[in-house]
Amino acid sequence: MNNVDSAYSRPNFFPGQLVDYRDFNRLSQFPQTVLQDFLKGIFPGGGILLGAKDQFRPVTVQGLTLAIQPGLAVLPTGELASLDQLTVLDLEKVVRTGNTVFVTIGNDRMACDKFTDPEDTTITGFLSEGTVTRVEASTALPSADRLELFRVDISSATKRISVSHSESASEEVAVIDLSYRKLLLAQTAPDFSELEAARTQLSLLDESLRKLGKLFLMEDAVSSTMHLLSSVHAELLSLPPQPLKMGFLLSEFARKLALFLENLDRHLPLNRNDLDRPRVMQTLGLIEPLRRTEPFVQKFPVNQVSDVASSLNLIVRFAEERFSLFTLVEEALLTLRDQPLRLDAELPFAGQMFRKIDSIDSQNASKLRFQSKEVQNRRMQAKYGNGASHEALGAFFRTGGVDVEFEVAKTDRPAVILVRHHVRRSQAIVHYDINGKTLAADAWEKLGLSNQWINRGLVIPSDRLVPGLNRLSLRVENCDLDFGFFDLHVYQPGDLGGKV
């Protein structure tokens, strides 16, 4: 006979049975045990139940004193935690061993209604038992049986706590961080009837993100966000629907999108006039509801996604209508390919003044590292595409490539590199790597040139640069003749957003 799990067994009463108090306790504990294990299974780690009371919303009172609104939550243990009244919390009284204060909820088990038998005083006990939900603040990490509501970084100089997302933290103002709280919505019947509208909004999001990455030269930074967006789109089309998976993907996409926008806001100097920063902050507020981890997505949030897509589109339009430096610089470099350049200390590109920060020619041995052991120096004379003649001294090698080191003083702005190449024949493939990461590649066969000078312009995003020495690697493949390195010049813009 199989053993019955004692946690899920109930007492069975029959005529003539001698009943013990433990049997009645097991009977009362059974539904609580089943409910606790069930909630722990469908809500791993617990979370705050949406739509239940005011969901533990923090409200500032004065100074470092907060009021926590009532709420209902599932603890990591599966227990229900219910706060029925406003709770005032003075964080100034917290004994701090660090700057980060964690505000959590948990249950304390309490017995009440003590009873003593009037005829036999040796018989004592409590007639009822229950739990009391308490809010606590501590600098220690939350224990496994408590649920985090929010956290806040407080220093000795902090005088006030803010709950506003639009306010920035400072030495005297601490801003509550709600990003670690888990929000739950228990719904079990998925309905993705508005499929076409959802797909349209996801496509608009994809288009806006691609444009933002290109406009602000942050295509690498936005790639992970777009990958999650593609996963959401794919899941929307999959059959049968998987609400649990959709809930996870939506919240992860929203989290990545918020991180990208925050990074974009920090990445660009304040004097850039092509980023609508108030709109970025507004978009972050629109994204916040999508960050909630919903274990079962009953209906795809078309309206919320539509609001985010529309707001992102406005950010893109704002940038496109104003001075878009980086896209225009790439276009300007193409127009300069087939004509000799006066590589002065300052050059204008697309209305922006760029200053030369470094210059390396074939004889700068300290800044050049050739992979080939056989390197020959000789002069080369040829013409540009516009017919102008040019002569230069180059270092020629047959295999491998060359690493060129150049100095960069400021990494908050991109760099433009101009490399002079002599195309002898069109078989070569030239790879450009910056600091060990792929930047671009050219197949000279597509150029259709022979015995001609070209200027190759490269735009290096600021997030690819490091302070001090940077390394541009030129690797050559499929070259039937030797390849020559002549000179390389590095430029950076002055004040970003300033025009000539």
Q: What is the pLDDT of residue 53?
A: 55
In degrees rounded to 5, what are phi and psi of residue 22? -65, -30
Q: What is the pLDDT of residue 189?
A: 40
C-alpha dist (Å) from residue 106 to 110, 152, 406: 13, 19, 57
Q: What is the pLDDT of residue 76?
A: 92
C-alpha dist (Å) from residue 138 to 37, 62, 179, 181, 404: 28, 19, 18, 16, 53
The rounded distance, in Å, linking the Cα atoms of 70 and 85 is 5
The rounded distance, in Å, linking the Cα atoms of 476 and 442 is 10
Nearest to 347 by CA among 336, 358, 355, 339: 355
Instruction: Pick left, alpha or beta for residue 326 (phi over 0 → left; psi -120 to 50 → alpha; otherwise beta).
Output: alpha
The rounded distance, in Å, linking the Cα atoms of 240 and 60 is 46
In eight-state DSSP terms, residue 191 is B
SS3 state of residue 87: strand
* The residue count for the chain: 500
- Tokens 């490091």 belong to 466
Instruction: Pick left, alpha or beta for residue 227 (phi over 0 → left; psi -120 to 50 → alpha; otherwise beta).
Output: alpha
The rounded distance, in Å, linking the Cα atoms of 14 and 329 is 89
Can you give the three-state secondary structure of 337-371, one letter per residue? Answer: CCCCCCCCCEEEECCEEEEEEEEEECCCHHHEEEC
Q: What is the pLDDT of residue 326?
A: 61
Cα 44-45-49 angle, rounded to 5 deg: 90
Q: What is the pLDDT of residue 500?
A: 28
Q: What is the pLDDT of residue 187?
A: 46
Q: Please, how many CA atoms are within 13 Å of residue 93, restricted to the half-sphere of its CB?
A: 6
* Residue-by-residue pLDDT tens, the chain, 500 positions: 455 556 677 778 888 888 877 878 777 778 788 888 888 888 888 888 866 556 888 998 888 899 999 989 999 999 999 888 899 999 888 866 678 899 999 998 887 788 787 888 887 877 777 788 999 999 888 899 999 998 998 888 888 898 876 777 888 888 888 878 887 765 444 444 567 788 888 999 999 998 888 777 677 778 888 888 998 888 887 765 666 677 788 888 999 999 999 988 887 767 667 788 999 999 999 998 888 765 545 667 888 899 999 999 999 988 877 655 566 677 677 778 888 888 888 887 766 678 899 999 999 889 999 988 888 999 999 999 889 999 999 999 877 899 999 998 888 778 899 999 988 766 788 899 999 998 888 888 777 788 899 999 898 888 789 988 999 999 988 776 788 899 999 998 875 433 32
SS3 state of residue 133: strand
